Amino acid sequence: MNGRFARAGSRLEMVGVLGALALLAGGSASARSFDVAVFYTERSARTPAYKYWVKEIEKRTEGRVKFRSFYAGSLLKVNETFKAVRSGAVPIGTTSAAAVSGQIPALSYIEAMAGMPNTVAGFLEAAKPLHAAMDKLFRERGLRLLFTQPSFGTVVVCRDKFMKTPADWKGAKVRGAGRWQVQQLIALGAGAVALDPAEQYLGLQQGTIDCALSVNWLALSLKLHEVAPKITELRVPVNISLYIANAKAWNKVSKADQKIVDQVSWEATRMSAGLLEKSMAKSQAAMIKQGATIYT
């Protein structure tokens, strides 16, 4: 690749070329390999359930369905995923309700703080009917919903104060993940800012933002507590992660193997809920050990 080519296209155009090549190289009618754009790091609390999903699908389909993972937004940023997967530039990607609610307004309900149950049992009770409703919305847009992961235990990480009362939010510049979290922050009197997850550390370090909404495992993974050591536990959930596939690419998988994927996806959703609930206390302890202070 020469310098002129590298300068010629946008990030998404280059991803489109790579995605098209990946689809062409997908194998015979009986074997498919898919690139997956993953927005979180490989050390994230979300990763064990995702890796289980990848390995079990390959095992149970006897290698007919395989995945190649690109972690930490190395292939796509979370806010680019919906468009790229819908266009077929990348066959599968991880995104969130917050990143997609602009295109599918109904997802605003599960983007917002307190939009879902904050317990494993409550989440799993809601997850199956919710999956069916969301998959219908994605199918209408040329996509398939493969599986979801919850986000228990919302926190707000701040540079120099806790958010103990509504008055503490007034005038603070707070990062929200999407448009409806931003509306909640505005209702509290905050100056709300929407930033990509990868931009939060620098924003907090430089004072572009005072605080950021997050969850324990993600705050720890992104090391936000290093630059925003005052952490307030809000005791509500926020957002959910979505694993979506381009429908045309996914339809090349046999119906029998799609059923296997559906089964493993539910197993991964159940596993993820339990692991993420346990990760809250572990993430808290790790951040405290590294200098953070937590108010609940």
Which pLDDT belongs to residue 11? 53
Which pLDDT belongs to residue 27? 40
What are the residue ranges of helices labelled H in 67-119? 81-87, 97-100, 108-111
Distance, in Å, from the CA atom of 200 to the CA atom of 222, rounded to the nearest integer, reads 8
Pairing type for strands 230-233 and 154-158 reads: antiparallel
Residue 204 token pair: 């907090």
Top pLDDT among 8 and 20 is at: 20
Radius of gyration for the chain, computed over Cα atoms and rounded to the nearest angstrom: 19
Residue 185 exposed, middle or buried by CB count within 10 Å (0-12, 13-18, 19+): buried
The mean per-residue pLDDT over the stretch 189-193 comes to 93
**How distant, in Å, are the alpha carbons of 76, 83, 220, 229, 249 from that of 15?**
8, 11, 29, 36, 16
Residue 30's pLDDT band, with cuts at 50, 70 and 90, is low
Residue 65 token pair: 């369905």
Q: Among 19, 180, 169, 4, which Cα is nearest to 101's? A: 180
Residue 47 makes CB contacts below 8 A (sequence gap 6+) with 40, 41, 71
Question: Are the CB atoms for 245 and 94 separated by under 8 Å?
Answer: no
Sign of CA dihedral 86, 221, 71, 1: positive
* pLDDT reading at 28 higher than 80: no
Question: Are the CB atoms for 2 and 160 separated by under 8 Å?
Answer: no
Sheet with 32-37, edge to edge strand ranges: 65-70, 32-37, 92-96, 240-246, 143-150
Top pLDDT among 277 and 2 is at: 277
The mean per-residue pLDDT over the stretch 239-263 comes to 97
Which pLDDT belongs to residue 249? 97
Top mean pLDDT of 12-21, 175-184, 250-259 is at 250-259
Which pLDDT belongs to residue 9? 45
